[in-house]
Structures are given as C-alpha cells and as structure tokens.
Amino acid sequence: METKPLLFGIIGFLLGGLLVSVAATTFDKPADDMSMDDMVKRLEDKKGDKFDEQFITDMIVHHQAAVDIAKLAENQAKHQPLKSLSKDIITAQEKEIREMKQWQKEWGYQNTDHMSH
C-alpha cells in the first residue's frame, strides 16, 4: 500500500483546519457575522423545513468564507501543498454552494445571493 497519498491527504486536512481556525480568529468580521457557535445555537431548536432552510443559509455563508480564505492562501501562501489544498477547497466549496442554492430554489427557501461576497 502506498502511503504517500494518504499522508498528503492527512496533512492537507490538518492544514485546511488550521487555515480556517487561524482565519476565523484573525480576520476582522462585520458586526452581523455569526460565529460557528451562534450558527449551531440557531439550529438547535429547529426541525424539518425550518432546520433545512437555516442550515442551507448558514452553510452557504460558511462555505463562501472558506472560499474567500482559500483564495487568499492560493495567492499568498508560501508552500505549494497549501496552495494546492486551497485550490481543492475552492473547487469543492463552490460546487457545494451551487448545489445548496439550487436546493433553495427547488424547495422554495429564501435565496442567499445577496449575502455572497
């Protein structure tokens, strides 16, 4: 079994987590931005359609923040593995954002296009 891809995957996962953690605690946020804890608390008392709509809304915002941070890393990071990871994050998160926006339309939920950066 070749361990290099697994090792790179683990390193990428850890670097991605570190990148998001550092950005979440470092970047200035507008007053109306919610923390992850706030998002979780907002979801705890919801079920069914109300849960689904709020989950999608919050996850689009969360994914867009990941894309924005990854774009910075893609252009400003020193190490190529971090730049490669950033590109992968951008591709994956943008795909998921498109998918969630499609669900919003299909399920009659409020569109979050006005919230995008």
- What would be the CATH architecture of the domain defined by 4-26+35-115? Up-down Bundle (1.20)
Assess whether pLDDT exceeds 90 at residue 72. Answer: yes
For residue range 34-63, list pLDDT tens digits in order.
788 988 998 999 999 999 999 999 999 999
Percentage of residues in the chain with pLDDT exceeding 90?
58
- Alpha carbon distances (Å) from 25 to 18, 21, 29, 66, 85: 11, 6, 9, 13, 20
Task: Read off the pLDDT band of 32 (50, 70, 90).
Answer: very low
